[in-house]
Structure 1
Amino acid sequence: MKVFVIGAHGQIGKKIVSKLVAQGDQVYAGIRQADQAEAFEDAGAQPVQFNLLAQPDEQALALKGMDAVVFAAGSGGQTGYDMTLMIDLDGAVKSMQAAEIAGVKRYVIISAEFTTDREKWPKALRPYYVAKFYADEWLKTRTQLDYTILQPGSLVNDAGTGRVTVNPAAGGAITRDDVATFAVQTLKTATTIGQTIALINGETPIAEAVQQ
């Protein structure tokens, strides 16, 4: 499978790229800066400079011929309201439009837990959650993409556990490694198309949880 990872240099993006390469996929790592390229070349991926501020038709040039797109980019809510809107909302939407222009159907996005429940949005990250909410809604209602929306809980950098709880009743934490593993397995699991899936660490093996 030819997969383009947007935000490949991010913490989850790097893990997604590594896992895709390890299972033999042809991986294109979307990066912002040229000096990020060498690390991905060494890891067995093809680095491609990709600008989320560019127009969809320009972004589409990089996505031509791909089997799938994974959107793992984000401002992290740390760069101010303007960049949160430009990356997490408008950048995400433009990448969806670009995928459709390029003829790519499969699209997986890393979102965040509780995006549909404003009462649970962290006060310090409200602009980020606004962006995630509307990007997810655009994907669901304004595109014809074969999408999967992953909504992980609080992200931690511990070693992956290989086990999750899907659509939990309450929030929780999940390792970035487990999010990446779930995203990679989601790409080739047709039953996840059209699904919004919340994730925290739990007791169910990821391969089994994906099939559910």
Structure 2
Amino acid sequence: MKILVIGASGRVGTDLVKQLLADNHHVIGTTRQEEKLFDDDNYSQLDLDITAEKDAIQSQIDKDIDAVYFVAGSGGKDVLEVDLHGAVKTMKAVEDKGIKRYIMLSTVFSLDTSKWNQPGIADLKEYYICKHYADQWLVNNSKLDYTIVQAGALKERAATGKITINDDDAGENSIADVATTLAAVLNADNTNKKVFSMHNGETTIDAALAKL
């Protein structure tokens, strides 16, 4: 497949691109960095500014892309421009291009405001508000074949290959396991039009996804 990864230079994006390339996909990664991120014949790079106008974003996206991942993040800076407005503009641009598959990396409980008083979430209120409305737009205002993966806290630790899905605990994730889950979603047709939370657990990733 030809896959666009928006946010290829991020922590999750880097691992995701590596896995997609290992699966022999052609990957176009977006980054504002000048140097090429990956030395692979199946990788190309795009300087895509998601804070630009929607039409400018759309003009840089090829029509023959099979799937789009949104794994970009503001890191707490410009959350409105990146995590909300930027995300929605990419959804509109992709849909206008006739591309259907759109996989969003979100945050745990983004659509369940009743759980925002949990430790660690209250301190990220503005980020959560942005992710909430971006996810709402994707579900309710687009006709995209979406999957929203709501990950708990991201940690720099070894992959386990095992997760828990849709648990009441926010939990933590190995970054590599989040990337593996995102990659696995691509070919899991049962994840289409689904939103699910995840954290490291006791079930293999493929088996967990099969239960959705």
Which range, TM-score by smaller chain? over 0.9
8 A contact 1:105–1:145 mirrored in 2: yes
Say whether 1:99 aligns with 2:94. yes
1:55: Cα distance to partner? 1.8
Match of 1:28? Answer: 28
Runs of 4+ in structure 1 displaced over 4 angstroms? none
Match of 2:9? Answer: 9
What's the CA shift string for 1:160-179, capped at 9, x where partnerless?
10000011122211111111
1:48: Cα distance to partner? 1.0
3-state SS, counterpart of residue 39 of structure 2? helix
3-state SS, counterpart of residue 74 of structure 1? coil
8 A contact 1:18–1:43 mirrored in 2: no
Unaligned runs of 5+ in 2: none
CA distance in 2, matches of 1:142, 1:75: 23
Identity of aligned residues (%): 39
Say whether 1:211 aligns with 2:206. no
Q: How many residues of Structure 1 are paired with residues of Structure 2 in the alignment?
A: 206
Counterpart amino acid of residue 198 in structure 1: S
Query: Alpha carbon RMSD of aligned pairs, Å?
Result: 1.3
Counterpart amino acid of residue 196 in structure 1: V
TM-score, normalisation: structure 2: 0.93
CA distance in 2, matches of 1:54, 1:41: 28
What's the CA shift string for 1:99-119, capped at 9, x where partnerless?
011111000000000112334
Q: How does 1:172-211 map to 2 (within 5 A)?
A: 172-211=171-210
Unaligned runs of 5+ in 1: none
1:190: Cα distance to partner? 1.1
Match of 1:59? Answer: 57
3-state SS, counterpart of residue 98 of structure 1? helix
3-state SS, counterpart of residue 29 of structure 1? strand
8 A contact 1:61–1:102 mirrored in 2: no
Match of 1:158? Answer: 157
1:62: Cα distance to partner? 2.8
8 A contact 1:76–1:128 mirrored in 2: no
8 A contact 2:5–2:13 mirrored in 1: yes
Match of 1:90? Answer: 85
3-state SS, counterpart of residue 40 of structure 1? coil
TM-score, normalisation: structure 1: 0.93
CA distance in 2, matches of 1:6, 1:14: 11
8 A contact 2:19–2:183 mirrored in 1: yes
CA distance in 2, matches of 1:51, 1:211: 35
Q: Give the direction of change, closer, same or farther, for the CA distance of 1:43–1:172 in structure 2 (3 Å limit).
A: farther
3-state SS, counterpart of residue 34 of structure 1? coil
